[in-house]
Structure 1
Amino acid sequence: MTLLLLWALKGALFLLAIGMLCALARLLIGPTAQDRVMALDCLYINGMLTMLVLGIIYASDVYFEAAMLIALFGFVGSMAMAKFLLRGEVIE
């Protein structure tokens, strides 16, 4: 791995961490439930991307599998929260 790629990946990790902090702030202060759900979406996407960047840095398949699990559970959770906010119940 070249030095330029390593610096770029570390910069990406730093920017993803800043994005996660901003999403966490929106999650805590969000005036509506929809804002909080969108903040959770942003958090799981940033977490998934963080795992992908770590997988590239350490050249390990475990990080890619963890990123796939985060994406799967995040999507299912987002759909459940959207259905709950729309209808008031998750299971019909």
Structure 2
Amino acid sequence: MSLWLSGTLFFALGCFLAAMTLAIWRLFRGPTAQDRVMALDYFYVNGMLMILASGIVYASDAYFESALLISMFGFVSSSALAKFLLRGEVIE
């Protein structure tokens, strides 16, 4: 891996870490439940992107599979939380 690519990936990992820190801050400080749900969405997307960048750094396929699982579970949980906030129940 070239020096330029590895430097760029480590810079991206640092930016994703800063974004996750801001998402945690919004999660605990959010005035409404909708803000907290959006912070969780933001958190799992940044976590998935960090795992993908780590997969590029370490050249391993296991990172990409775990990122796929995180994205699927994150989408399902976001949908369930949105439905719960909208109607007050998840299972009809």
The TM-score with structure 2 as length reference comes to 1.00
Using the TM superposition, give the Cα deviation of residue 38 of structure 1 relative to its aligned residue in structure 2, in angstroms: 0.1
Matched, 1:25 2:57: no
Partner of 1:8: 8
Partner of 2:46: 46
Partner of 1:71: 71
Q: After TM superposition, what 4+ stretches of structure 1 lie above 4 angstroms from structure 2?
A: none
In structure 1, stretches of 5+ residues that fail to align are none
In 2, distance between residues paired with 1:48 and 1:10? 15
Identity over aligned residues, as a percent?
62
Q: How many matched pairs?
A: 92
Q: CA RMSD in A?
A: 0.2
The TM-score with structure 1 as length reference comes to 1.00
